[in-house]
C-alpha cells in the first residue's frame, strides 16, 4: 500500500492486541503513523513486534480502559513520547454474553456496559484537553449495527450510547477543529480470540442463543455474509484520515447493507 495518510501523525488505537484493533494498528503504522497501542492483554506486545519488524513506529500501553485512570495513562504516554495526539481510534468493546435480556444477571448487564461504552467514553474524555489545545484532532469510535439485534440487549444499549456520544461530541467540539465519527460494524469474521470475552464453557442453550445471533446477523445483510477485518479497517482508517475532512458527527454502518 503506497498511501501514507498518517505520515507523522500520532494515533492512539485501543484494543490493539487482536481482531479489528490489531488490523487498524498495523494499517496505520504501514501508512506512516506513530501508533500508541493500548490494550489490557500482553498480546499487544506481539503486535508491536509486527509493527517494528515492518519498519513502523509504535509504543504499547498495558492498561484497563474501563477505568478513567487507564485512559489517562494512554493519553499521557502518547504526549510524553510524541508531544501530541492527532487521532484517537476507539476499538475496545464486544458482547460478553449472548442470551435473551431476561436471562442477564444485574452484574452481567453492568459488565457489558463497562466493556462496550466506558472505554470509549473515558478515552474521549481523556484526549479532549490536548486536542482542544492544538485545535485539531480526529476521533473514530467503533459502534455496531447490533443496536438493533437480539440476545445482546446490554451490548446494544452500550453501542447506542457510543452513537449518542459520537454525535454530541462532534457537535460540541467542531469549533475546536475536532472531527468525531463512528463505524457501526456488522458481523465480522476474525480468528479465534486469544483472550476470550467469556471464558466459561458454552452450554447447549448458550450455543442455540449464539446461533440465533449469527442467523439474524446474516439474514439482515444484503450480502448474506459476514464482513472481513480489512473491510472494517478500510472505513475506520478512511474516517480517521484527512480524506474525510468534511465528515463529522456521522455513524457509518459497515454491515453489508444492515443499517442497524
Q: Does 226 participate in catalysis according to the annotation? A: no
- 37 bridge partner residues: 13, 60
Region of 146 on the Ramachandran plot (φ > 0 left; ψ -120 to 50 alpha; else beta)? alpha
**Grid coordinates of 252:** 457509518
Q: Go through 162-173 and write b for each residue having 16 or more CB atoms within 10 A of its CB, e for each that does not.
A: bbebbbebbeeb
Which one, of 13, 15, 21, lies nearest residue 188 by Cα?
A: 21
The active-site residue out of 43, 82, 155, 246 is: 155
- Enter the C-alpha cell of residue 133: 489545545
Q: Are 66 and 119 in contact (CB under 8 A)?
A: yes
Residues designated as active site: 155
Amino acid at each position: 500500500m503506497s498511501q501514507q495518510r498518517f505520515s507523522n501523525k500520532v494515533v492512539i488505537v485501543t484494543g490493539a492486541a487482536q481482531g479489528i484493533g490489531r488490523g487498524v494498528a498495523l494499517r496505520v503504522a504501514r501508512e506512516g503513523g506513530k501508533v500508541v497501542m493500548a490494550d489490557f492483554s500482553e498480546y499487544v506486545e506481539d503486535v508491536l513486534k509486527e509493527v517494528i519488524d515492518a519498519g513502523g513506529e509504535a509504543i504499547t500501553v498495558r492498561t484497563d480502559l474501563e477505568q478513567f485512570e487507564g485512559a489517562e495513562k494512554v493519553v499521557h504516554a502518547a504526549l510524553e513520547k510524541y508531544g501530541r495526539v492527532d487521532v484517537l481510534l476507539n476499538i475496545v468493546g464486544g458482547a460478553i454474553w449472548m442470551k435473551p435480556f431476561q436471562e442477564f444477571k444485574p452484574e452481567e448487564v453492568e459488565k457489558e456496559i463497562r466493556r462496550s461504552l466506558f472505554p470509549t467514553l473515558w478515552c474521549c474524555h481523556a484526549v479532549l484537553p490536548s486536542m482542544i489545545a492544538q485545535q485539531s484532532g480526529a476521533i473514530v469510535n467503533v459502534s455496531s449495527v447490533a443496536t438493533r439485534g437480539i440476545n445482546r440487549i446490554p451490548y446494544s444499549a452500550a453501542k447506542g450510547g457510543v452513537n449518542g456520544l459520537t454525535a454530541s461530541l462532534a457537535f460540541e467540539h467542531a469549533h475546536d477543529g475536532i472531527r468525531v465519527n463512528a463505524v457501526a460494524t456488522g458481523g465480522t469474521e476474525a480468528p479465534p480470540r486469544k483472550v476470550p470475552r467469556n471464558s466459561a464453557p458454552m452450554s447447549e442453550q448458550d450455543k442455540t442463543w449464539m446461533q440465533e445471533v449469527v442467523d439474524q446477523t446474516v439474514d439482515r445483510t444484503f450480502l448474506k455474509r459476514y464482513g472481513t477485518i480489512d473491510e472494517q479497517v478500510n472505513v475506520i482508517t478512511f474516517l480517521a484520515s484527512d480524506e474525510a475532512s468534511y465528515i463529522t458527527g456521522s455513524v457509518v454502518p459497515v454491515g453489508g447493507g444492515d443499517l442497524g
